[in-house]
Structure 1
Amino acid sequence: MSTENPAEETFISHLVELRDRLVKASIGIVLVTVALMIWPGPSHIYDIIAQPMIAALPAGSKMIATGVIAPFLVPMKVTLALGFILALPWVLYQLWAFIAPGLYAHEKRLVAPLVISSSLLFVAGVAFCYFFVFGRVFHFIAEFSPTSIAVTPDIENYLDFVMSMCLAFGATFEVPVVVVILVRMGLVSLAKLKEWRPYVIVGAFVIAAIVTPPDVVSQFSLAIPMWLLFELGLLVSPIFVKVTQAPEEKA
């Protein structure tokens, strides 16, 4: 005879469900990563990532690898990171499938848009950093490089720089989601956030000065989108609050 009570059985079933969702999410990441390794391949992926830097260097210049296994290890790291980003929708779907059965209808209207918008905004931030910021930053730095210096960046240092910048811009583009959550949860009123606008603008430039290289181009490229996204959050939050209200809140 089973000695488990219903609460224990429910808890165990949730753990089993969580394990299955984690396994499915991991399989999705592995499949995408393996596909990227087959085509276009780690070396070609790194060449694409390195293109903004190569374009800013003098003609014929290349990067260097100071580590023995760096030419193999660094492209593999890039492929793994890209595989996770591309598999992110599948991972978020598994997360949604796990928590959705326990949510009310108005809570589903709250969580689903936040999960989707946050992932899309993160990818948009990474794309903005790669396509708009990198080329301008590298050309700006190259113009200040003395002619007596041969600029030959190390591939590991370049990868660390690229990943930190992409992470910074991806996180920055989450500002509208943060604003919406603060207003929806009642932590800060919309009127108070509008009053804080001057401080937010100053804070955006301070954060940009801390997380970006010490050049004007990259700092403005991060601070201005951060401010504009804050304004977007102010515009969207009242609509989001109205749509996701519970029945008792409407009453």
Structure 2
Amino acid sequence: LHPSPLLPFFPPPPPTALPCRSFLSDIYVNYDCSLHNRNLFDNLTKSLCKQAFPSSGLLLSSHLIAFRAIVSGLQGISSRISRRLLQQSPDRHVSAAAGILSQKLSKQKQIKRRYLMATEHFNRDVKKGLAMLTKSGLLRSKDEGGAKDLAIFFKAGPALGLDKRIIGDYIGEREEFNQEVLREFTKLFQFHGDTVEQALRVYLESFLLPGESQKIDRITEAFAQNYFEQQKTGSEEGGRD
């Protein structure tokens, strides 16, 4: 077979293009299906596809490298599927476990898509964001645990692109529901064994403090209460041991 004179000839990708053939699968599972990480697989593949084809008509070595990486990744996925088809276990329990894992990842990915849509609405308008969370089934009513649902969303939000200023402004408000969200949000952090400086640094990395002093007081008070409760609980458990 001879390469077409109208198309550049792409040699087969070297085996070292992607050292680990499960690399892309691992990225997808640990990043794209996780609420606490950005869609690294999605961003990586989009970037490679964009880089693989020259926009100006001039073919560069970077285009070839990107194309080879795409081909290598596809070959890795194909080989993994082929091996699984050939090595399917007759054990129904093993097959059932694999099916459950696949369904779990699919569900996590669907939830993450809803969170991403809600994040986009939140960054434009908080009320629209709340409405989107409710519509997606990710936010229960105030009496049924809505504060905890919103706290979980705020905790995962920065990794999904949620504006940290929105989080700080919302949890700093004095309304009862906002304060309940603040308490639930603060409970999501584990400060056992951390110094005050370490715990406060981790806490403040998840949002931006608002400018109003009253909001800052409410937030720091919630942090202090949760921090010392965790230290007290840890000391009591250590004493019993």
Give TM class, smaller chain: under 0.3
Larger Rg belongs to = 2
- Say which structure is richer in helix: 1
Higher relative contact order (CA 8 A, sep 6+): 1
TM-score, normalisation: structure 2: 0.26
